[in-house]
Amino acid sequence: MRLGVLISGRGSNLQALIDARADPAYRAEIAIVVSNRADAAGLVRAAAAGIPSAVIADHDRASFAAKAHARLREYEVELVCLAGFMRILDTGFVEAWRDRMVNIHPSLLPAFPGLYPQRQALAAGVRFTGCTVHFVRPEIDTGPIIAQAVVPVHPDDDEVSLAARILVAEHRLYPLAVRLIAEGRTRIVAGKVEIAGWRVEELAALNPCEPPPDPLVSKRG
């Protein structure tokens, strides 16, 4: 499956998708990286990996969308991955890529959408937060959820330490979610994502806090 990755900055999630190629069984390859900023560090990562990139710096939403759409078509992209892409996308663009565009967000959606999700989590006093990969719908940080990972909040956390812990989970979760799509194992049914053929290692990534079987609970009930 050919991916188009949209970035605005650091590009560590882009790097996680690049690194996933090390597994010969991984069926997704990055065809092009598009950045809305010329100074995005992720562009250096793309170049180092020999991946073509384009900078589209148009501030006008419609004109960014038209140019990005043309580039993605030119590179025969089948799935668009938003990876730290910090601009709101034109609704027409989102609809054009409906069910073929995914995003990663550093919270357990639908909790804490939008900006500063780690700050929101700290302010709410939650004991756990995490990250979510979801199909993109026009309303910000909404859409059918593909995968989530749970991350604990420590009592002495600040935004920086919490963001760093979540990021470790993001780097595992995004390649996993993309792999499920590339293998044709996701299906959206009534607004929810069904995944065919679970494997144990995937369950661990999706639910890192999955408890071991409880011997007091008999399997036969």
Q: Select the residue interacting with ligand GRF from 3, 13, 35, 93 (CB under 6 A).
A: 13
Q: Does residue 31 interact with ligand GRF by CB under 6 A?
A: no
Q: Select the residue interacting with ligand GRF from 56, 81, 83, 133 (CB under 6 A).
A: 83
> Which residue, 105 or 134, is less far from ligand GRF as judged by CB?
105
Q: How far is the CB of 200 from ligand GRF (least distance, A)?
A: 26
Tokens encoding 2: 């050919």
Q: Select the residue interacting with ligand GRF from 18, 80, 101, 104 (CB under 6 A).
A: 104
Query: Looking only at residues 169 through 198 of this chain, which bind ligand GRF when binding is defined by CB under 6 A?
Result: 170
Q: How far is the CB of 9 from ligand GRF (least distance, A)?
A: 5
Residue ranges that bind ligand GRF, judged by CB under 6 A: 9-13, 83-84, 104-106, 167, 170
